[in-house]
Amino acid sequence: MTNIGIGMIGGGYMGKAHSVALNAVGAVFDTGLRPVCEMICTTTEAGAAEKARTFDFHRSTANWKVLVEDPKVEAVYIASPQETHLEIALAAFALGKPVFCEKPLGATLEDSRAMAAEAEKAGVTNMMGFNYIRTPASQLAREIIASGEIGEVTYFRGEHTEDFFSDPESPATWRTTGRSNGTMGDLAPHMINAALGLIGPVSSLIADIETVHKERPGENGREAVTNDDQGQFLCRFENGAMGMLYFSRIATGRKMGYIYEVFGTKGAIRFDQEDQNALWLYNGDAKPDREGFTKILTGPRHPDYLAFCQGPGHGTGYQDQIIIEAKDFLQAIETGQAVWPTFQDGLMVHEVVEACWRSHEQKRWVSISDL
């Protein structure tokens, strides 16, 4: 067992989730590398000190460069706004330090390309934070598809829908300004990542993106909403399968609508994150009087489940997805073998998002290879 010092940049929602995971992962998975929460960085010294106390970090700072350059910080977590990702990652790679980065990879496609290129050049462990795909059920779905159990994939339908801005009178926030904070920058990457992981690369697409509620209440009256509420696209995957993906932050009633269906020549799969411990499987070889989707409850025989619970059907939760991510990141560092999704995979997601915007603006099909 070997300790590794971790530096956490960001103490918000995801900074907390990753900090909790780092404090739990060694006990849950008995990892060979044991993370030591060495230093945390937030925007103020007082705030960082408070987060260090709350999340059990040894030290704190308001300067991310101090954290990255500290010799006791051996790996870096980036859980800060997208605009900061590029500079932090490049600084860490220059020192040979592994980097875990929350999605999206960069604030712009150019940032993401630079980050992926530098990661490859440095030859240092890197990983992206797409937690939802790490549920035991979705890991099982990947195994089923890859094994050919449902045959050749012919169609994929996916969505990431929530309703936190469904009320037109919900106040304007930082989420309502800046393209990277809109639905295509916030929710879309998760389901795009799922589609790429389950089916493979997208070759071309045609998209439509919309701001439904163009103004919201603000501190000084009505404020303009400068990013998107919802978007959708039709696509072709490189393997020939068709696809349709939809994303929304105004989908009334949807709390965690990370949903996908995969149709193959021998069967089909259906998943809904609001019931994240179940996967629905259709066996095309079933007798006519036994046809129908079967609900598979995840249990100890499914990926990463047993470490949390010995009882099938008892289930895992949101925080457990983050703990699984921490285990995978530590494994990648320890073995030197990349664990999906890497920065290169994050770049592929960003390329699809960029293609959606280009398609929407130009009202045409766009090939990913033309970006």
Is residue 273 over pLDDT 90? yes
Task: Give pLDDT, residue 126.
Answer: 98
How many domains does the chain divide into? Answer: 2
Give the pLDDT confidence of 226-248 residue by residue, as tens digits: 999 999 999 999 999 999 999 99
Q: What angle do CA 350, 355, 361 make, to 5 degrees?
A: 130
Q: What is the DSSP string of 199-251?
A: T--EEEEEEEEE-S--EEEETTEEEE--S-SEEEEEEEETTS-EEEEEEES--
Specify whether 163 is located in the same domain as 106. Answer: no
Specify whether 52 is located in the same domain as 79. Answer: yes
Sheet holding 257-264, edge to edge: 293-297, 278-283, 267-272, 257-264, 153-161, 242-248, 230-237, 202-210, 366-367
Q: How many CA atoms lie within 13 A of 281 on its CB side?
A: 20
Is residue 32 over pLDDT 80? yes
- Domain final residue pick, 100, 130, 160: 130
Tell me the residue range of the domain where 77 lies. Answer: 2-130
Specify whether 126 is located in the same domain as 154. Answer: no
Say if CB 119 and CB 112 are below 8 A apart. Answer: no
Question: Confidence class of residue 1 from pLDDT cuts 50, 70 and 90?
Answer: confident
Give the pLDDT confidence of 284-342 residue by residue, as tens digits: 999 999 999 999 999 999 999 999 999 999 999 999 999 999 999 999 999 999 999 99
Specify whether 18 is located in the same domain as 164. Answer: no
Rounded Cα distance between 10 and 88, Å, is 12
Specify whether 120 is located in the same domain as 168. Answer: no
Give the pLDDT confidence of 274-292 residue by residue, as tens digits: 999 999 999 999 999 999 9
Is residue 220 over pLDDT 90? no
CATH of the domain at 158: 3.30.360.10
Inside any domain, residue 232? yes
Specify whether 116 is located in the same domain as 218. Answer: no
CATH of the domain at 21: 3.40.50.720
- Structure pTM? 0.96
Is residue 23 over pLDDT 80? yes
Inside any domain, residue 183? yes
